[in-house]
Structure formats: structure tokens, C-alpha cells
Amino acid sequence: MRRVACAERPDWRAKAAGCGFGFHTIDDAPYWDESAYYAFSLREIERDIEAPTEELHAMALDMVERVVANEAWLRRLAIPEPYWDWIAASWRERQPHLYGRLDFAYDGTGPAKLYELNYDTPTSLFEAAFFQWQWLEDQLARNALPAGADQFNSIQESLVEAFGSIARSIARPFRLAAVRASSEDQGTVAYLRDCALQAGIDCELLAMEDIGISADGRYTDLDDGVIGCLFKLYPLEDMFRESFGQHLPRSGLQLIEPPWKAILSNKGILPLLWETHTGHPNLLPAVFDDGGELPRGWTRKPLHSREGANIAMHLANGQQFASDGPYDGPCIRQASHPLPAFDGRYPLIGSWVVGDRACGMGLREDATPITKDSACFVPHAIVEEARGVLMA
């Protein structure tokens, strides 16, 4: 794994505009950054990222099976009781899911360490699946990459295939919703809609705020059509506590991601995974937080923080980092395992699972060891090292 400086494509901004990638720059700060890329060997990808992703995904699904039947654990995860039966039923019925992202700390040596599962509302999808792919194709065509360079990224193919395989079990009408004012989230659902259409599924976009409720507790779109299935790029735990949430269990609405994802999009799954698989090479030690002072070597994360908010990190050497944010409530502790630094940047690997298959990755790098919403997306390539270069 190396960070390699690389000339940008002269026309990448025009290309971004052409494919609807409007959020390559957010609040005047760059988000898409192709002035460098990360180079991996195929062995690093397959042994250290792809295989552990598939294994951890299977372990995570296995945990759902255990947690839905365990009231003490559901309580530990701060899932409100009125939703327990509905979540359990969604798992018993194996309601279809689409995708998830595992975040890893990895430096090219030793096992990748799982930071968390983003299994409910993962973003950075379009840039990983499509724009990164286009970058590789363009740079190969310009001879800006070693001949034969590849990328761990069949995400788009996998999305279209996954939509195709769950098409029969998606209730219609199918709507995809995100927060109206977030261009990043809107771009992500527009992309998912494109993938669904390519799989032959008729669907429309809707702003989360425009969802309506009928007198008998069914959810409607702007034409008063009763929504059959809703893909919501919106946290389940937020829906639970908002005023329309109470209708979810009896509304007949199908959700993607399905209700059982509430168990996996919760950092409480990390101590449960550790308890069940203590010592697993890809897991970091994790416990539920008792609220006391954070000792050296531990990081505190709320059960439900996103985009690196409200994280407190106390490194073994005494250094401390903290990020602010809007989240409170119960927390977990995870053994501190700082991100590696490459040229003063801290890359976090997002490894995608679509359907149940590990199918690609995207890297985001920040200027500090906590990856926040300010982190830039940097493309990657699989490049086989020439032996002579390694020995030189």
C-alpha cells in the first residue's frame, strides 16, 4: 500500500458535472481529490480487505440472529421497545437488504482492523462505485497509471445485480428518499435510483420531509399514493423517535435498509462482536462504556454517531483527540488503533458489501486521525509491483 502523487485529469470537473456529481466540492472545500491515489497489491486487497470483509459480514449477520432474540441486548443497544417485535419479524422474514460499508484501519501490513459497520445509511457510494471507476479507466487511457492497473470495485455491477435479484420482493410503488437539503445524500439516492432502473425496477425520488401519513397510518408520496417500499437514506434510530415513527410497525411499509439493520448500524454491535469472537484478528477490543474517565489506549464512540462526530480518542502515548457533534446517549469504548499516516494524511478504508458480497472499496483521508465529514475521497488502484523495483 502506497500513496502515489498523480496528475489530475484536466477535465475531471467537467466530467463530474456531466454525470451529476455535484458534491465533489462541499462548502468550497474539496471533497473529491485525485492529486494522489493509493496503490495496493492484489494480495493486499484479496487477503487483507476482501476476505475479512466477507468473514465479518457473515459474523455480523450471525449476531443479528442472536440479538433479536435477546431483550437484554436490544436494551443495551438502546433500541426502543415498541420496535423490537417489528425488527425481529423483519429478520425472521429475511427482508431484503441492499448494501453496507465496513470501515477499516489498514496500512499494508498486518490485519485490517474494523472501526465500525455502516450498515444503515452508508454514503460515498457514487464516488466509489462510479466516479472512481471512471478515474481508473481515464487514467489508464492516458497512460497515467501502470499498464494493467486494476481496481477493487465491481460495486456498480453488484448493485444492479442485487437490485435485480430482490426486484420480486420489493413492494411497489418503490420510492427512494433522502434529506432534501443535502446534495451529497440526494446524489447518493439519485445514483441508487439509476442502478434500480438499470435492473428494471420502476422508482422515483422523494424528499424525506415530504413523506406523508394517512389517517389509517400508511405512508404516502406527494400524489397521495401509498408507498410500498421505501429506500431511506436516513437513520432508522432517527425515524424511531420522530413523530411519524410510531406508525412504522403497523403501516405495512417495507424499508430498505430493513428494520433489522438497526442492530448492525449501532456501535453496540462492536462489543457484542468482540465478546463473541474475542481475539479475532480483524476486531479491536470493545466494551460498553461505563461513563468514567477514558483511560489511555481507548476511544469512546456514541452508539449512534455518524461522520466521526462526538468521538474521544486517548492514545497509548497520552495524546488525545476529540471531535464535537450533535450526538449523545450511551457510548462504547474501542481499543485505540490510530489510522496510519501517509504523507501526513490519514486514510480510512471503506469496504463495500452489496447483497452479501464484498465488491469494492473507497478511501477517505482526513488531516487528523479522526475521519470526519471533511475527509476527502481519494481513488485507489491495484498495481502489481515489479520485483526489480521492490529489490532496488
Place of cell 434529506: 179
19 lies in the site for another protein, by CB under 8 A:
yes
Residue selected from 106, 191, 342, 377 as contacting another protein according to rule CB under 8 A: 191
Quick one: how far is CA 336 from the chain centroid? 20
Which CB sits closer to another protein, 56 or 155? 155
Beta bridge partners of residue 314, listed in sequence order: 298, 320
CA distances from 58 to 69, 93, 339, 358 (A): 18, 18, 25, 11
237 prior amide bond cis, ω within 30? no
CA nearest to 224, candidates 235, 213, 232? 213
In a 3-state reduction of DSSP, which class is residue 177? Answer: strand
In the bound complex, what is the minimum distance in angstroms from residue 111's beta carbon to another protein?
A: 20
Interacting residue with another protein among 208, 273, 286, 383 (CB under 8 A): 208
Length of the chain: 392
The SS3 call for residue 289 is coil
Options 63-71, 113-121, 283-291, 340-348: segment touching another protein (CB under 8 A): 113-121
Tell me whether residue 96 or residue 100 sits nearer to another protein (CB atom): 100
- Pattern 238-277, another protein, x by CB under 8 A: xx-xxxxx--------------------------------
CA 264 – CA 120 distance, rounded (Å): 8
The H-or-E segment that residue 346 falls in is strand 346-354
- 188 forms part of the interface with another protein (CB under 8 A): yes
Residue 284 or 382 having the CB closest to another protein = 382
Cell numbers that stand for 67 in this block: 440479538
Which residues fall within 8 angstroms of residue 297, CB to CB, at 6 or more apart? Answer: 314, 315, 316, 335, 336
- Bridge partners of residue 228, in order along the sequence: none
Nearer to another protein, 314 or 351 (CB): 351
For another protein, the closer of residues 214 and 319 by Cβ is 214
150 sits near another protein (criterion: CB under 8 A): yes
Is 212 one of the binding residues for another protein (CB under 8 A)?
A: yes
Stretch that binds another protein, among 58-66, 90-98, 172-180, 273-281 (CB under 8 A): 172-180
Give the nearest distance from C-beta 31 to another protein in angstroms. 12
Span near another protein by CB under 8 A; candidates 3-11, 114-122, 288-296, 311-319: 114-122
Please say whether the beta carbons of 260 and 64 come within 8 A.
yes
Take residue 44 and report the three cell numbers written for it.
493486499
Query: 317: which 3 cell numbers?
Result: 502515548
Residue 53 interacts with another protein (CB under 8 A)? no
Per the DSSP assignment, residues forming a β-bridge with 5 are: 36
Q: Does 108 bind another protein (CB under 8 A)?
A: no
- Phi and psi at residue 103, in whole multiples of 5°? -100, 130
Query: In angstroms, rounded to a whole number, what is the distance separating the alpha carbons of residues 62 and 38?
Result: 33
The footprint of another protein on residues 302-361 (CB under 8 A) is 306-307, 360
111 forms part of the interface with another protein (CB under 8 A): no
With contacts defined by CB under 8 A, how many residues of the chain interact with another protein?
A: 84
The span of 51-59, 237-245, 291-299, 338-346 binding another protein (CB under 8 A) equals: 237-245
**Nearest distance, CB of residue 292 and another protein, angstroms:** 27
Q: How far is it, in rounded angstroms, from Cα 119 to Cα 12?
A: 30
| Nearer CB in complex with another protein: 235/340 | 235
Using CB under 8 A as the binding rule, the residues of this chain from 362 to 391 that contact another protein are: 373, 382
Locus of grid cell 487483507: 48
User: Applying CB under 8 A, does 155 fall inside the site for another protein?
Assistant: yes
CB of 118 to another protein, least distance (A): 5
Residue range at the interface with another protein (CB under 8 A); choices 64-72, 177-185, 276-284, 287-295:
177-185
